[in-house]
Amino acid sequence: MKYILLILFASSIYCQSKYPSDSLLKTTEINTIKKIGLLPISLWQRISYNSNYFNCQFYPSCSNYCAAAIKQYGLLRGMIIASERITRCNPFAFYYHMELNNPFYYKDGRLIDPINQNHNLKTKKSPYLASVFSVIPGFGRAYAGRKLDGLMGLWTIYLTTSSAIYARKNRNQILTPFFLGVAAITYFGEIYGSWRSAKYYQKDNKDNI
């Protein structure tokens, strides 16, 4: 823990706000717990912002979305929200975006997908029923009409869970709790993602009611 705090302290001093998350690390308005969650994002942006191979299809990008979620909702809830977005950042995102006629960012054509969505949307799907179905990974998103996202969610949970099992079999005391934590966050992210898909990522039926 002391090494994490040392790295965090050094990063907060030497970062020059070149990358978006750096400004959050330098501010005094965010507590240390949130900054611990922001540190990996800051390190990732030093890679992704300097390579065309990691361009995100969403606006805001997944890293900025994750940083904003942690800032707004705290470390644990923010990571759950972030994992849901990362699951949706898949080859099928453009198809679903076009299906709903959602807007594109005017500068580079990325898919606009903010954390806070239209709360006045009228849909035929129940977010709460989607959450119940998502106890079995993938079923909640499938109910919400996003079967392909559901498959990606199921695949992500399988990867993280199998990694945790493999680490435990090899008695790795560092990777086992790490992957267990990631698997848990991903699982709750799938539940949240099912709720969000049913509530926000639907065609507006208010004119038909």
- pLDDT, tens digit, 9 for 90 and up, residues 62-87: 999 999 999 999 999 999 999 999 99
What are residue 104's DSSP bridge partners?
A: 111
Give the span between the Cα atoms of 116 and 112, in whole angstroms: 11
What pTM does this model have?
0.87
Supply the pLDDT for residue 12: 47
- pLDDT, tens digit, 9 for 90 and up, residues 98-132: 999 999 999 999 999 999 887 667 778 999 999 99
Tokens linked to 198: 């049913």
Supply the pLDDT for residue 23: 85
Report residues of the chain scoring pLDDT below 50: 5, 8, 12-14, 207-209
Supply the pLDDT for residue 10: 53
Cis check: omega of the bond before 60, within 30 degrees of 0: yes
Q: In the 8-state DSSP scheme, what is residue 104?
A: B
- Helix 2-14 to helix 32-48 angle (10° resolution) is 60
**What sign has the CA pseudo-torsion 73, 79, 80, 81?**
positive
The beta-carbon contacts of 34-41 under 8 Å, at least 24 apart in sequence, are 34/70, 34/71, 34/74, 34/75, 34/78, 35/8, 36/4, 36/5, 36/8, 36/75, 37/70, 37/75, 37/78, 37/79, 38/67, 38/70, 38/71, 39/4, 39/7, 39/8, 39/11, 41/66, 41/67, 41/70
